[in-house]
Amino acid sequence: MHQESLQRLEKRLGYTFQQPALLRQAMTHRSNSYKNNERLEFLGDAILGFVVSDLLYGRYPDVTEGDLSRLRARLVRGESLAEIARALALGDALLLGAGELKSGGFRRASILADAMEAVIGAIYLDSDFSRCEAWLRQLFESLIDALPPVAQLKDPKTRLQEWLQARKQPLPQYTVLNVEGEGHEQYFTIECRVSEPALCREGSGNSRRKAEQAAAAQLIEQLDSKRK
């Protein structure tokens, strides 16, 4: 039955394995077997990072190293890989241990992302770098096309700080207004204030960092509305 799942997965991947055992290993979570997909995941992660870096380097000739890193992080982060894995229905072919299977591991983003990297490593070992690179390029070209403008990839606090520094204005001040809950269930409300122009906005989140980011995002939106 699982062999049929792997064959269906091959069709969705658009790649037929000469060594089917590699695909089976790529789909085997550590909870199921000693010979799992962790080594393939390690290999696939390195290949993916290089190929995506090369794609971005060619696509964005005038972008700085820092922005290229942000673009790459957006593409190869766990959430993005999990989305690709879901689109390919990788979860249908995963081999999980009883515990992970019962807890819905075939839907878990981290497991799907790891399996996606393992598939990349498996395709490389089954063919060669050129074939694997071509497959990855085809997979990621549309995702690169859909990337937002480079400036939007920076987190709100960074964007706000850079906006103020470019105008030689004082940096924003963040003040905790309220903390609710206890321990790991705390919820923060934070104020972000700038002096030139004199503006302040509030943001909330389940960590101080998230609340600060939310407040900065609100203030950026206010600055943008004033410029229009």
Instruction: Name the residues annotated as catalytic.
Output: 45, 117
**CA dist., res. 168 & res. 17, Å (int):** 58
* DSSP string of 76-126, one letter each residue: HSHHHHHHHHHHTTGGGG-B--HHHHHTTGGG-HHHHHHHHHHHHHHHHHH
Query: Closest by alpha carbon to 57, among 47, 71, 45, 46?
Result: 71
The one-letter amino acid at 20 = P
Q: Measure the CA angle with vertex 203, ends 79 and 173; round to 5°.
A: 110
